Copies of this chain bind each other. A is one copy, B any other.
């Protein structure tokens, strides 16, 4: 047993639908859609802020493979990727993960937020972002 339920799942292995050197995939307990899959780095990384580029590259490579498999074997017509980093962003398991959610044009479902942030009235931090990201 690890302190992390996703590390336990990876170690046990029997629930995985994909297993790669640096990433793995499995189905969540409460799927939003049939085939909804979680893709994670095998290494315990808490969130995007703590991730190395290699963790993200390997995880997104598998997310792309999962998306293709959902299209090819489950007949999905599209996919959404959903991700949360940080409790304030509604992250619930603190091992980096991406939700790959298959979509159909007739699924009567939306993954786009219906509301907006309560912070929406603040000044846009565009110039500070640009400077932080090294643009004049």
Q: How far is the CB of A33 from chain B (nearest CB, A)?
A: 3
* Cβ proximity bits A83-95 to B, threshold 8 Å, 1 near / 0 not: 1111111110000
Interface string of A31-61 (1 = CB under 8 A from B): 1111101000000000111010100110011
Instruction: Give the distance in Å from the alpha carbon of A85 to the alpha carbon of B70 in the complex.
Output: 12
- A65 in the interface, Cβ–Cβ < 8 Å? yes
In the complex, A116→B101 CA distance in Å?
Answer: 10
Q: Contact at B78–A81, with CB atoms within 8 Å?
A: no
A34 touches B73 (CB 8 A): no
Chain B residues, CB < 8 A from A17: 126, 129-130, 133, 135
Contact A117–B107 (Cβ < 8 Å): yes
Asked if A7 is at the interface of the complex by the 8 Å CB criterion, the answer is no
Contact A53 B48, beta carbon cutoff 8 Å: no
Interface residues of chain A, those whose CB is within 8 Å of chain B, are 16-19, 25, 27, 31-35, 37, 47-49, 51, 53, 56-57, 60-61, 63-74, 76-91, 98, 101-120, 122-126, 128-135
